Chains A and B, each alone.
Chain A
Amino acid sequence: MDVLLQQFFNLEIMGKALPLVLQGLKTTLLICAIVIPMGLLGGVLVALATRSSLRALRVCVTLLVDLMRALPPLVVLILVYSGLPFLGLRISPLTAVTIAFFLNNAAYYGEIIRAGIESVPAGQWEAARSTGLRADQTVLWVILPQGLRNVLPDLVSNTVEVVKLTSLASVVSLQEMLYSADMARSLTFNASPIVLAALIYFALLWPAVRLVSRLEHAAAR
Chain B
Amino acid sequence: MERFLDSFLNAKLIAATWPAILSGLVVTVEIAALVVVTGLLLGLALALLRWRAGRWIGWPLMLFVDLFRAVPPLVLVLLIFFGLPNVGIELPSFAVLWLVLSLVLAAFAEEIVWAGLIAVKRGQSEAARSTGLSENQTLIYVVLPQALRLAVPPLTNRTIAITKNTALGTVIGVPEIINQATTAVSFSGNATPLLMGAFAYLLLFVPVIGLGRWIESRFAWRRQ
Q: Which residues of A contact B (CB under 8 A)?
A: 3-4, 7-8, 66-67, 69-75, 78-79, 82-83, 86-87, 160-161, 164-168, 170-171, 178, 181-182, 185, 189-191, 194-195, 197-198, 201-202, 204-206, 208-210, 213, 216-217, 220-221
Contacts and interface: CB of A to CB of B under 8 A. Distances in A.
B178 A78 contact: yes
Given A206-B66, A221-B118, 17 more contacts: A8-B83, A66-B209, A71-B205, A72-B164, A75-B177, A79-B195, A83-B191, A83-B195, A160-B70, A167-B72, A185-B82, A190-B86, A191-B83, A198-B75, A209-B69, A216-B115, A220-B119
Interface in B85-141: 86-88, 111, 115-116, 118-119
B115 A220 contact: yes
Interface string B164-177: 11111011000001
12 contacts: A70-B205, A70-B206, A72-B166, A74-B178, A75-B178, A78-B182, A166-B72, A189-B86, A198-B76, A201-B72, A213-B115, A217-B119
Interface string B200-219: 01100110110000000000
Given A75-B198, A194-B75, A7 B87 contact: yes
B185 A71 contact: no
A216 B115 CA distance: 8
Of B66, B74, B118, B206, most buried by chain A (CB within 10 Å of CB) is: B74
B79 A3 contact: no
B71 interface: yes
Interface residues of B, number: 51
Contacts of B79: 191, 194-195, 198
B152 interface: no
A171 B86 CA distance: 23
Nearest to A216: B115
Nearest to B117: A220
B71 A202 contact: yes
Contact of A69 (B116, B170, B182, B209): B209
Contact of B74 (A168, A202, A210): A168
B27 interface: no
Contact of B171 (A86, A171, A201, A206): A171
Contacts of A161: 161
A23 B4 CA distance: 39
Contacts of A86: 7-8, 190-191
A164 B73 contact: yes
B6 to A, nearest CB: 10
A217 B67 contact: no
Contacts of B74: 167-168, 170-171, 178
B40 interface: no
Given A74-B170, A86-B8, A213 B205 contact: no
Contacts of A191: 79, 82-83, 86
A220 B118 contact: yes
A24 to B, nearest CB: 12
Of A3, A198, A210, A217, most buried by chain B (CB within 10 Å of CB) is: A198
A187 B185 CA distance: 29
Contacts of B195: 79, 83
Contacts of A66: 206, 209
B21 interface: no
A210 B66 contact: yes
Contact of A79 (B4, B72, B76, B198): B198
B136 to A, nearest CB: 23
Nearest to B69: A209
